[in-house]
Amino acid sequence: MDEIKLSDDVIEQIKDFVFYDLTEEQESLIDKLITDEKLKERYKGNGLCEECNYIKIWRFCNYCCFQQNFKNWTSGNNDVDEFIQKAQLKASNKYSPIEWIEYDKFENVEYLAKGGFGTTFKAVWKDGRISYCGYENNQFMRVGETKVALKCLHNSQGITAEFLKEVESNILVYNTSWIVRCFGITKNPKTNDFMMVMDLKDSNLRQYLNNNFISLNWENKLYNLQGVAFGLKDIHNKGLIHHDFHCGNILSYSDQYVQYVSITDLGLCQPANVKSSQNSNKKIYGVLPYVAPEVLRGKEYTQKSDIYGFGIIAYEICTGFPPYHDIAHDEFLAMKICKGLRPTSNYKIPQLIFDIINQCWNANPLKRPDANELRELIVKLYRDIRDNKVASVIYGQVKGADDINKKSSFPVQLPLSSDTSILSYMTHPQAVYTSRLLDFKKLPEPKNSDNNVLLKVEYSDSLKMDFTKLDINPKDERN
C-alpha cells in the first residue's frame, strides 16, 4: 500500500488542500512534495481519503471501502481470497478493482465456446459492476444489469497462486478499450471450477473475419490492425507478455457505426492447476500457427514472441484465412515453420503492409519490431488511407492491390455461402485453433526461407514417418 500513501510529513502539509481547486502556491508545493509523477497525477485527480489519508482511486478510497468488507466474503480458497484482496488494495484507477462475485448474482447463463483451458459462458450480472459514482451507506453504488462473459477455468478446483499471478496481468494492464476488462472472479457451485467475470464482446476476431471479410476495405483492415497494435503496446509497456497471442484471444465488438477490437486472456496459456515447478520443465502451450519458432524449440517466451504472433494475426486480417487452415497442425508443420514456412495466399497485400508483417515473423527475434514501432507504422498507414492521401505510397499500393484482387481468381476460389458477405473455407480436421500442449522434439534451428519465398505445405495425411530425421528444403515445395 506504500505506493498510494504519502508520508506523514507530506500529508500534514497538504491535508487541508482542496485537490480540485489548488492555488498556484499549493500547486507549486504539491509539485515539490510529490516527486512521483503517477502519484502526483492520482492525487490531483482524486485527492486524499478523509479517513485514512490514502490517495483515492475515484470517488471512494479502495483501502477503506474494500478492506472493511474483507470479513463479509470468501471464495473458499485462501489463494483466491488473498489475490482479490491484494488486487483491491493496489487498484490504481477506477477500472482496475476486481471483486469476489457470488454465483447466484448471475442469471440466464448460456454456453458460448470452449477453448484449450477454459469454457466461456454468457450471463447477466444482476447488480452489475461498481459504479464510478462512489460509495454510500457502507456499500458501493452499482450500474445495474450487465451482460458479461464467464470464463470457466478447467481443473481450477486446485487453482494455484502461480496461475492467479497470470490472471493479475489482465487486471494490471487494463486502462483502455484495447484490453478486455475483468470485473472479478466467481465459482460454479456445481463443479467448483473458478470463473473469470469478463466484459462481454460480440465475437472473437476470427468469427468477425468469417462474417465480414468480403465487405472489408483496407481502411477497415488497417483500423483493426491498429487496434491490435494499440492493445499489444499497452501490454508490453507494462513489462508484460501475452504468451497466447492469436485471433481467438482478440475480441471484436461494435459501438454504433465503429468496429473495435480488444485483447483478452493475458498469460492464460496453461492449465489453472499447473505449478511453477512443472513450468520449469519448459512445457510449451499455445496455438501452433501463432507460436514463434524459437519458442517451439524450447526457448523462453518473450515480448518478441508476441510480435511474431502479431505478424500471423496481421496476415490473417489482411487475407481473411486462418493460418495453415488446410493442413494438419502437427510436428511436421512445426518443423517447416522452423525452416522458414509462413502462411501464404493468392490474395494481394499492399507491399508496405506486407513488409511490416514480414518483419514481425522474422526467424530472428532481434530483427522483429517492438510494439511501439508497430503502432507508429500502422497508425501512419491507416491515417493516409483514412484521409485519402492520394499522393502517399500506401494509397497507390492499396489501389493496385484491389485491382489485382478484383481481376484474380481469388473470389472464385472461395466457397461462398448464400450470404455473399460470409467467408467460408474447408478446415483440415487436424488444424487446431485452441491452446494446447505442444510437445515437439529435435526441431531445426529457426531460419527464414530463401528469398522470403512463402511456401505451401502439401503432404498426405496418411504419410507416417519420423519427420525430425528428414532434411526438407523449403525450395523444393514451391508452387
List the single range of 2-16, 109-123, 266-280, 335-349 with lowest mean pLDDT. Answer: 266-280
Pull the grid cell for residue 402. Answer: 484491389
pLDDT at site 464: 32
Q: Which DSSP category does 245 fall into? A: -
Question: Which phi and psi angles does 198 have, rounded to 5°?
Answer: -115, 160
User: Is the pLDDT confidence value at 274 over 70?
Assistant: no
Residue-wise pLDDT for 47-102, tens only, equals 888 888 888 887 778 888 888 889 999 999 888 899 899 888 877 777 778 899 99
pLDDT at site 433: 94
User: Considering the entire predicted model, what is its pTM?
Assistant: 0.83
pLDDT at site 29: 94
- How far, in Å, CA of 328 to CA of 430, rounded? 5
Question: Which phi and psi angles does 174 have, rounded to 5°?
Answer: -75, 115
Q: How far is CA 153 from CA 118, 186, 246, 263, 278, in A?
A: 5, 11, 19, 18, 18
- How far, in Å, CA of 366 to CA of 280, rounded? 24
Distance of CA 104 to the CA centre of its chain: 29
- How far, in Å, CA of 99 to CA of 449, rounded? 49
517492438: which residue's cell?
A: 370
Q: How far is CA 417 from CA 143, 338, 414, 421, 473, in A?
A: 41, 36, 9, 8, 38
pLDDT at site 345: 87
Max mean pLDDT among 261-275, 403-417, 449-463 falls in 261-275
User: Is the pLDDT confidence value at 281 over 90?
Assistant: no
pLDDT at site 23: 93
Question: Which phi and psi angles does 311 have, rounded to 5°?
Answer: -60, -40
Please, what is the average pLDDT of the chain? 83
User: What percent of the chain clears pLDDT 90, i.e. is strictly above it?
Assistant: 48
Question: Which phi and psi angles does 10 have, rounded to 5°?
Answer: -65, -45
pLDDT at site 65: 85
Instruction: Report whether 131 contacts 141 (CB < 8 A).
Output: yes
- pLDDT bucket at 185, cuts 50 / 70 / 90: very high
- Mean pLDDT over residues 274-291, rounded? 73
- Mean pLDDT over residues 309-313, rounded? 97
Question: Which residue in 242, 239, 243, 260 sits closest to 251, CA to CA?
Answer: 260
Integer distance in angstroms from the first to the last C-alpha of the chain?
A: 61
Q: pLDDT higher for 276 or 123?
A: 123
User: What percent of the chain clears pLDDT 70, i.e. is strictly above it?
Assistant: 84
User: Is the pLDDT confidence value at 473 over 80?
Assistant: no
- How far, in Å, CA of 210 to CA of 208, rounded? 5
- Mean pLDDT over residues 94-119, rounded? 87
Residue-wise pLDDT for 226-254, tens only, equals 999 999 998 898 888 888 999 999 999 98
DSSP, residue by residue, 134-197: EEETTEEEE---EEEEEEEETTGGG--HHHHHHHHHHHHH-SSTTBPPEEEEEE-TTT--EEEE
- pLDDT bucket at 350, cuts 50 / 70 / 90: very high
User: Is the pLDDT confidence value at 267 over 50?
Assistant: yes
Pull the grid cell for residue 404. Answer: 489485382
Measured at the CA of 246, the angle between CA 314 and CA 112, to 5 degrees, comes to 125
What residues contact 197, with CB distance under 8 A and at least 6 apart? Answer: 101, 125, 148, 149, 150, 182, 183, 184, 185, 186
Instruction: Report whether 282 contacts 298 (CB < 8 A).
Output: yes
Q: pLDDT higher for 176 or 41?
A: 41
DSSP, residue by residue, 49-96: -TTT-BBPSSSS-HHHHHHTTGGG---S-HHHHHHHHHHHHH--STT-
User: Is the pLDDT confidence value at 415 over 60?
Assistant: no
pLDDT at site 1: 42
User: Is the pLDDT confidence value at 134 over 80?
Assistant: no
pLDDT at site 246: 95
Pull the grid cell for residue 58. Answer: 475515484
User: Is the pLDDT confidence value at 456 over 60?
Assistant: no
Distance of CA 161 to the CA centre of its chain: 21
Question: Facing residues of 203 across strands?
Answer: 252
pLDDT at site 323: 96
Pull the grid cell for residue 52. Answer: 485514512
Question: What's the order of all strands across the beta sheet hosting 258-263?
Answer: 203-204, 250-255, 258-263
Instruction: Report whether 85 contacts 71 (CB < 8 A).
Output: no
- pLDDT bucket at 479, cuts 50 / 70 / 90: very low
List the single range of 144-148, 150-154, 229-233, 462-466 with lowest mean pLDDT. Answer: 462-466
In 303-423, which residue ranges form alpha helices assigned H by DSSP?
303-319, 331-338, 351-360, 371-386, 393-407, 410-413
Instruction: Report whether 374 contacts 225 (CB < 8 A).
Output: no
Max mean pLDDT among 241-255, 261-275, 441-455 falls in 241-255
- pLDDT bucket at 342, cuts 50 / 70 / 90: very high
pLDDT at site 329: 97
pLDDT at site 113: 85
Measured at the CA of 47, the angle between CA 44 and CA 50, to 5 degrees, comes to 165
- pLDDT bucket at 414, cuts 50 / 70 / 90: very low
- All structural domains of the chain, each given as residue ranges with its CATH number in brackets, are 2-56 (no CATH), 67-199 (3.30.200.20), 204-477 (1.10.510.10)
pLDDT at site 461: 35
Kindly provide the residue ranges of all beta strands, DSSP E only, lying in 35-102, ordered along the sequence: 99-100
Pull the grid cell for residue 249. Answer: 484471444
Question: Which residue in 98, 435, 108, 461 sits closest to 288, CA to CA?
Answer: 435
Residue 235, SS3 per DSSP = helix
Measured at the CA of 175, the angle between CA 169 and CA 177, to 5 degrees, comes to 105
Question: Facing residues of 151 across strands?
Answer: 120, 196
Question: Which phi and psi angles does 33 have, rounded to 5°?
Answer: -80, -35
Question: Facing residues of 111 across strands?
Answer: 121
Pull the grid cell for residue 282. Answer: 519448459
pLDDT at site 52: 84
- pLDDT bucket at 148, cuts 50 / 70 / 90: very high
User: Is the pLDDT confidence value at 453 over 70?
Assistant: no
- Mean pLDDT over residues 328-341, rounded? 96
Instruction: Report whether 72 contacts 138 (CB < 8 A).
Output: no
